Amino acid sequence: MQRIVAGEKLTSDEMDNIYLSTRCRACDDVCPVDIPITDIIQYERQLLAQQGKEPAKTTAISKNIIERNSPGGMDPSTRFYELQMILKLPKIPRSPI
């Protein structure tokens, strides 16, 4: 965190450590000394965003959620079926509603 506060450039591994977390809090639950790991990760992400150093993919996901209500930018009314085709899942008939 000191390097982020100082505005230093982080390595790829350091960025991965911050942005690959799902922030599910499982690490908080098992930490034997009650370190709030998820809160620290969230704070680091906030600092990086304020410094304009957030990964481009994260910025794009945030923009898609705000503008299209969908992380991947897909039309929310059809994204299930688009993903179904991308993942080659069996077809499920659309609801008549």
Question: What are the Cα distances from residue 37, in Å, to 2, 25, 74, 95?
Answer: 15, 8, 32, 43
The whole-number average pLDDT for the span 6-22 is 92
Question: Average pLDDT over the chain, rounded to whole?
Answer: 88
Indicate yes or no: pTM above 0.95.
Answer: no
pLDDT tens by residue, 18-47: 999 999 999 999 999 999 999 999 999 999
